[in-house]
Chain A
């Protein structure tokens, strides 16, 4: 049986890598993929947390499906943004986006 602390460590490492990527990368699509990676790490941590409780926890499954839904919607909106920016010839460098800059 796997030690659950290692699973949590894996989730934390993934979140760390993704956060580092979010902080350093400027490509819009890659930033969205990094957010996807954070959601993936959160599902791993959630399932490990569920495994640590022997009691049946109905909230874990619901929360897991909610995270999956958020991740799925993020991918759909990512594709929408990608096609929109490609059609409009908008640069994918987020530092050059000026619409939301104050």
Chain B
């Protein structure tokens, strides 16, 4: 059997590969595509067609999950634009990692009055990450974008840990 790789999410949705998507238009497109391959519309067809329709429906759902999330959208774009870049740019600056470790400790020891200021700091850091990530993708700086996406994992993980405390 020949393995056919799944089409990328932008192709599934018939969109240009770009960071900038209109989220409302994206949702409408998702609903339209989903309706087109709804099982009820394809009852009379042959089994082979049914499988194709189900496969198409699964592709649409997977693509939707990626496209609607700005982080996953960025990750997908990066891998399409520069395959392997996320793996090549895994080594982060030790000074950044040392800060990330301190941040993790702050989260671990946060309580009462320290939680809200820490949450605000993390929100800013995550917003900065996203803006820098998008900027770097737009200007074609894929290595920089990959490092920033990796860096954002530390901030987002710290935020999840903080949320889990309260």
Specify whether A and B are partners.
no
Enumerate chain B interface residues (CB-CB to A < 8 A). none
Enumerate chain A interface residues (CB-CB to B < 8 A). none
